[in-house]
Structures are given as structure tokens and as C-alpha cells.
Amino acid sequence: MGHATYEWVYVAVVVALLTWVGADAWNVEHKLEAVPAQAQVIKSIGQQWFWTFEHANGTQEVGQLHVKAGVPYRFEVASKDVIHSFNIPDFTILMDAVPGRINTVWNMFDQPGEYLIQCREYCGLLHYNMRAKLFVEPANAQGYDYKLTNQTQTAAGGAGSAGPTTASTAAIGAAATGPVLTIPEGASVQGNPAYKPDPMTAKKGDTIQVQNKDTTLHTVTSGKTLEDPNKGKMFDSSMINPGATAKISTASLNPGEYPYHCDVHPYMIGTLKVQ
């Protein structure tokens, strides 16, 4: 048998090995990408500079996401403005959020706890602050409720809608007995007026009605900055949808001045004066 024949044998063996390895790798990749039929869908929407999540039952969360351990989830990732990147580092989840496109990735969380969700694609001025919290509940948990418990949001001309909140001093159902704080249209653009009036003056015991007239989410959160160790401890409206309202009670506030900011757009700052 000549040298040429041996060379062809070697070539055939190499081609066979590469074909086998490639086919096996494809099978592994296919298994990893195949979404379980029972997976629950969560729409994950990126927007400068925060994350919103919508569950299959219509429940929405802003800045936080609750899931259960042992349940497969399929994330439909998209963007409302520029390119973002949906990243959960502890579970090696990474998927681009592209305007006009829906990308999918799935995962089953096996370890209960609190984890970081972040953007891994530079998306503008506050890219560093585009974070959310992932709460993985134990599989045997009785369930979790995302309904608004401390805040009422009402879309202009519509009925009240429930949503997540971390507010501790926002009033529920109480009529506004004090002044109105307005978040004007265009407030999210740095340099534009953030809150009107500023400073806001109220009497102790007043319930301030906050009106969001802008086209994006905002908050009214006590504290000078996001890094303020006492951030949100005095009052926090939580996320206020565009065209919605929130109520903040001053009943627990002593007379004095209280700086506040927007958690989504921290360059938006104001001052509350309680008499």
C-alpha cells in the first residue's frame, strides 16, 4: 500500500473524528438550548436605566424579580430604547436586549437566595446603576404576592393598578390633604426641572400626592444620593408609572428639611420641607 493510500486513510479518520465530535457537540448544545415545555415565561424589558419584568399571569415587577427554585423559566429579553445586556452573574445568564427583537434564554434556579441582575452592555450615562434584584424562593414556599401593599397607582383616566413597591410610609386610600408634587414631562432629561415645586413645603401630617407626568418611571426617595446609607428610610414612593400617582405621608416626619431623589434617575433631586 503506497504512501498516498495511507494519507487518505488518515484524512478519512480525521474527518470521521471531527464529524463525530461536531455531532456530539451539537447534541449537547441542542439539549442546553431546548426549553422545557413546562417553562414559565417572563418578559424581561431593559430601558434606560432599569429593568421591568412581566410574568405570564400579567404581574409586573420593576427593579426586582421573584421566582421559585426548581421551576424552569424562559426569559424573553427585549429593549425599549438602546442595546442592553440581561445578565445574572451567579447563574451565568447573559443575553442581549435589542430594540425591535426578542431574544430568549432559559434557566432553572436551584439555590434560593438574593442575587444581582445587571446590564453588561454600556447603555449610557447611568449604565452602572442599571441593576435589579433576583429573589429565588424555596420550591416549597407558599407563594409570593407582588401586589401593591403600600402605594396606589392610578393611570390617568383609568382604574388603579397593582405593582411592586418597597415603600414604608406611602399612604393607601387616604385622600391627599397636603400639596401636590409634580414630576413634569421631560424630567428624565438631565438638566430639565425634576420636581415641581422645589422645594416642596408641607405640614406634618399632610399626605402629599405625587403626579408623574413624564413618559417614564420615577420615584420620590428620601436621601441625597443612591449611596446615602439612609436612602428610603424616611419615605419612598417606589416606582411610579407614567401618568400615575402615588401618596406619601408626612405623619412620621419631624419638622425639618429632607432631601430626596429619583432611584431611576439619581440626578433628579429635590427637597421636602416639613413644618
Sheet with strand 93-97: strands edge to edge: 64-68, 131-137, 113-119, 84-88, 93-97
| 162 and 273 fall within a common domain | yes
- Rounded CA gap, 40 and 67, in Å? 10
Mean pLDDT score across all residues of the chain:
80
Write down which residue in 137, 160, 186 finishes a domain: 137
Contact 87, 98 (CB under 8 A): no
- Say which range, 105-119, 128-142, 165-179, 255-269, has the weakest mean pLDDT: 165-179
Assess whether 167 and 100 both reside in one domain: no
- Give the model confidence (pLDDT) of 231-266 as tens digits: 899 999 988 888 999 999 999 999 999 999 998 888
CA–CA dist 101, 79 (Å, integer): 8
243 within some domain: yes
**CA–CA separation, 86 vs 119, rounded Å?**
5
Among the candidates 111, 137, 163, a domain finishes at 137
Ramachandran area for residue 131 (φ above 0: left; ψ -120 to 50: alpha; else beta): beta
| 125 located within any domain | yes
Band of residue 59 on the pLDDT scale cut at 50, 70, 90: confident
Q: Which residues contact 227 (CB under 8 A, 6 or more apart)?
A: none
Encode burial over 35-44: b for 16+ CB neighbours within 10 A, e otherwise. Answer: eeeebbebbb
Q: Tell me, yes or no, whether 69 lies in a domain.
A: yes
Range of the domain at 172: 147-275
Q: Verify that 74 and 161 share a domain, yes or no.
A: no
Q: Answer yes or no: do 271 and 200 share one domain.
A: yes
Tell me: the pLDDT tens digits for 134-162? Answer: 999 998 876 554 433 233 333 332 323 33
Residue 218 CA to residue 151 CA, distance in Å, equals 14
Whether residue 176 is contained in a domain is answered as yes
Residues 153 and 272 in one domain: yes
Q: How many domains in the chain?
A: 2
Mean pLDDT of 215-219: 87
Same domain, 54 and 111: yes
* Sequence letter at residue 220: V
Q: Which CATH number goes with the domain that contains 63?
A: 2.60.40.420
Q: What is the pLDDT of residue 157?
A: 28
Of 63, 118, 43, nearest to 239 by C-alpha is: 63
Q: End of a domain among 76, 111, 137? A: 137
Q: Is 18 a domain residue?
A: no
Give a yes or no: residue 30 inside a domain: no
